[in-house]
Structure 1
Amino acid sequence: MADSVGDSLDRVLEGAFTRPVPKSAQAQMKYLVKQLKGTRAVAQLLGVSQRTVERYLKGRLKRPRSRLRGRMEREVRRRWQPQIRAKARQRAESTDGLVVSTRARFGFTAAPGTTDDARIRDITQALPPLWAGRLFAAREQGATEQQLQRIAAEGLAETYFRADNTRAHGLGVEFTDVERIEMEL
């Protein structure tokens, strides 16, 4: 299965965590109840009954089914250490930027009459803070995976293919068939 830009952005911020995310179902449920201030809100979020949430809190239920386990882990990770997550994002947007390592199909369009057929390339490139900010902002606003890929492609086009607009002016870059994408701070 192909990796996604959105998941990679989430992993970048999770890499900044200073404490481990709760692992047991009981600990995850306790955390969610504390964050959402009640069992009813957690039950609605996870799509289970309020009584089920209470059973996990008391330790009577210990092993959630795979769908519920996935939802619990995803919701806990989304809310875990928000200040640390915000600092990492701010650092990427203001000074550090992101390093993108990808294996994807890149194709080009340039001046009329010239083209280059798309081919699979392995690229590792630092994206400046401007592009990190655009990616995080788009992710926060609910951008689709295609929109995130388009922003990443524009950033790679500018920094890698056009060398910060010192060459290949007007070169359009298509970024498709993403096999792997990883980002780091």
Structure 2
Amino acid sequence: MSMFGDSLDKAVQRAFTRPIPRSAGARMRYLVKQLKSTQAVAELLAISQRQVERYVAGQAKTPRPRLAARLEAEVTHRWQPQIKAKARHNAATTAGIVIDTRARLGYTAPVGTTDQDRVRHLTVALPPQYAARLFDAQEQGAPDSELKEIAAKALKEVYFQDSGRRAGTLEEVRFTDIQHLEFDL
């Protein structure tokens, strides 16, 4: 499970204008329409083609928990792609992104400063260029460590250095022991 990637996805999903289909049959029909065949859906969900056909026809109604979770994830991933693209573009060009986190934060600085790590709860509005970096890295399949590094650089500039108005000698921000992480557009 990717903490940063999942949190970015949830932020974008809040832009949906309609909820995803609720029933298993409606979700299967949506996937069949998107992937153009029951065979492709069966391969995607690792079930038989006949089982997909049963859900589409309404003969099967309640999937097992693991299949229900996979089905929901796949439909959510494909749901309203234009709305998701518009929300990402808006965040990356004009609106920026808000990070709400409770984590251990500290920094590397010259000798004589108070750079001790401590747990902080921060809610910080990040400028659009950091939203663009996060979304670009996520689209390229970057691991959580890279997304965390981008967020740490953003917090360094916006929170610790106050966009260049203080702490100019700050070298590196440590962003560890994340207890809570949420992004919002």
TM over 0.5: yes
Q: Which runs of structure 2 are paired with 1:7-22 in the superposition (5 Å)?
A: 7-22=6-21
Instruction: Read off the aligned partner of 2:176 and give its amino acid letter.
Output: T
**Structure 1 unaligned regions, length at least 5:** none
Instruction: Read off the aligned partner of 1:178 and give its amino acid letter.
Output: I
Q: Report the TM-score when normalising by structure 1.
A: 0.95
Q: Which runs of structure 2 are paired with 1:25-44 in the superposition (5 Å)?
A: 25-44=24-43
Distance of 1:65 and 1:141 partners within structure 2: 32
Distance of 1:134 and 1:20 partners within structure 2: 28
User: 4+ residue runs of structure 1 moved beyond 3 angstroms?
Assistant: 112-115
- Equivalent in the alignment of 1:89: 88
Q: Which runs of structure 2 are paired with 1:1-185 in the superposition (5 Å)?
A: 4-111=3-110, 114=113, 116-171=115-170, 172-185=172-185
Distance of 1:111 and 1:129 partners within structure 2: 30
Q: Contact 2:2–2:144 (CA<8 Å) still a contact in 1?
A: no
Query: How big is the shift at 1:117?
Result: 2.1
Query: How big is the shift at 1:148?
Result: 1.0
Distance of 2:158 and 2:2 partners within structure 1: 22
CA RMSD in angstroms comes to: 1.5
Distance of 1:148 and 1:3 partners within structure 2: 10
How many matched pairs? Answer: 184
Q: Contact 2:101–2:180 (CA<8 Å) still a contact in 1?
A: yes
Q: Report the TM-score when normalising by structure 2.
A: 0.95
SS of residue matched to 2:19: coil
Q: Contact 2:96–2:131 (CA<8 Å) still a contact in 1?
A: yes
Instruction: Read off the aligned partner of 1:17 and give its amino acid letter.
Output: F
